[in-house]
């Protein structure tokens, strides 16, 4: 196909649908590789920011994006008609779960595919990057695109390549993470491999789109299951009077056969709390009960309630109920050093504590304002006053400014606050951790 020649010569025009945590880094990498790149998003604030050369994603510094925009290598729009000039299209839209049922919501994928079908042309590569259940690419997208009379593998190419973005990771970025690729046909796989080979040194081809879709689900289900084990171990260690963090550190010293995972208040982010349910949903359709995966989801999903009970027990030891107690939550982003609070367990912890009448405030230097799950809050300053006025401090996210290794420092700060005032009643009575 002539398309491969355009990819190799960097003359192919790239369009990326969805300018979030996956799409914007991909736009930057494609532009840096030499491709004329167009970002498409229905959010006007994102489009305007990109066209000003201003980034809203930590992994794409403004000083990296702006020169690409000023050089004419990157532009953004909400007009899907630009797809008519695109040679390669990557779909990077959200794939949430339906509220209540936890069933896959692929409406964003379908919407993107409908737009592509309106402007598809011969010698075009379409790649889905959004995490989804096995069969989405060939069962949902393929019929929509072939419905216009063109054939995959002959007139255009269709493939799946799972995103592997790890927000806030300074070591592994879009440009140096191996890309897994599976196409509808061998030619589709070959073309997609050439496309991603322009931005990364390693492309791993698998047999088809279903295999590629399942690769992503295995990656995140692996993490969900092992985090669930760490959480259950943490609860067991509490019963036994053992420090689970000391246990994990000790086990991690083994140079083979062990990979450390850490307990926490639950799962957060755009992948791990969601992706396993895509797999178990598909399994049920095949009459298969993925018990192990479901159990991990139950354990991790229950952790915010466990944290609420730990807080209740800690306050009870001081003769106080949750109701009316001042509770300071440290960290509401779902992981350290990012501003992403999507699916953050800290949000549920705050909600549960407020439901019990707790006077809850939070501090997070990366999330100055929190607007999730009906909450509307602003971060308070982490000051001596904030600590001394708190009845309980809850470590909810391992930011580098107050990660587990810093909990002892934080506890010392609380004690120092008490000593400075000379009144035991003016300090936080408990720093709560698993």
Q: Which residue has the tokens 């879709």?
A: 213
CB contact set of 267 (below 8 Å; sequence gap of 6+): 224, 227, 273, 300, 301, 303, 334, 343, 345
Is the separation of the CB atoms in 429 and 319 below 8 Å?
A: no
DSSP 17: E
Is the separation of the CB atoms in 367 and 341 below 8 Å?
A: yes
Distance CA 411, CA 310 (A): 17
Could you tell me the end-to-end alpha-carbon distance of the chain, in angstroms, rounded to an integer? Answer: 57
Q: In Å, how far from its chain's centre is CA 146?
A: 32
Is the separation of the CB atoms in 64 and 50 below 8 Å?
A: no
Question: Is position 271 annotated as part of the catalytic site?
Answer: yes
Alpha-carbon distance values, 137 to 207, 211, 401 (Å) = 14, 11, 42
Supply φ then ψ for residue 400, to 5 degrees.
Answer: -65, -25
The one catalytic residue among 92, 157, 237, 271: 271
Instruction: Please give the positions annotated as active site.
Output: 271
């Amino acid at each position: 196909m002539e398309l491969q020649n355009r990819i190799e010569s960097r003359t192919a025009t790239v369009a990326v649908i969805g300018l979030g945590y996956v799409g914007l880094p991909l736009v930057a990498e494609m532009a840096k590789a030499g491709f004329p790149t167009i970002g498409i998003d229905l959010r006007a604030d994102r489009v305007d920011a990109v066209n000003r050369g201003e980034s809203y994603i930590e992994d794409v510094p403004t000083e990296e994006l702006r020169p690409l925009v000023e050089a004419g290598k990157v532009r953004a729009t909400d007009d899907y008609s630009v797809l008519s000039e695109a040679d390669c299209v990557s779909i990077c839209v959200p794939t949430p779960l339906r509220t209540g049922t936890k069933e896959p919501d692929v409406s964003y994928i379908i919407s993107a595919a409908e737009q592509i079908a309106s402007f598809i042309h011969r010698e075009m590569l379409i790649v889905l990057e959004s995490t989804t259940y096995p069969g989405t690419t060939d069962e949902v997208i393929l019929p929509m695109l072939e419905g216009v009379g063109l054939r995959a593998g002959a007139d255009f190419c269709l493939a799946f390549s799972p995103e592997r973005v790890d927000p806030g990771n300074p070591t592994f970025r879009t440009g140096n993470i191996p890309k897994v690729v599976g196409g509808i046909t061998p030619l589709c796989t070959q073309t997609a491999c050439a496309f991603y080979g322009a931005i990364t040194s390693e492309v791993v081809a698998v047999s088809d789109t279903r295999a590629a879709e399942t690769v992503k689900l295995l990656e995140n289900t692996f993490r969900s299951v092992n985090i669930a084990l760490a959480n259950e171990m943490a609860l067991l260690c509490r019963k036994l009077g053992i420090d689970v963090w000391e246990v994990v550190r000790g086990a991690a010293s083994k140079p083979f056969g062990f990979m450390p995972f850490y307990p926490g208040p639950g799962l957060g982010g755009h992948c791990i709390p969601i992706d396993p349910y895509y797999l178990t949903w598909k399994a049920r359709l095949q009459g298969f009960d993925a018990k192990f995966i479901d159990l991990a989801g139950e354990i991790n999903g229950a952790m915010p309630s466990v944290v609420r009970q730990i807080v209740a027990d800690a306050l009870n030891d001081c003769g106080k109920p949750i109701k009316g107690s001042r509770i300071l939550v440290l960290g509401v982003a779902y992981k350290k050093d990012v501003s992403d609070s999507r699916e953050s367990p800290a949000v549920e912890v705050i909600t549960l504590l407020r439901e019990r009448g707790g006077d809850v405030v939070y501090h997070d230097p990366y999330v100055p304002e929190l607007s999730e799950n009906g909450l509307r809050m602003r971060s308070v300053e982490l000051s001596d006053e904030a600590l001394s006025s708190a009845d309980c401090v809850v470590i909810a996210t391992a930011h580098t400014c107050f990660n587990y290794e810093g909990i002892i420092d934080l506890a010392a700060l609380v004690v120092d606050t008490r000593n400075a005032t000379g009144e035991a009643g003016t300090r936080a009575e408990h720093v709560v951790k698993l």
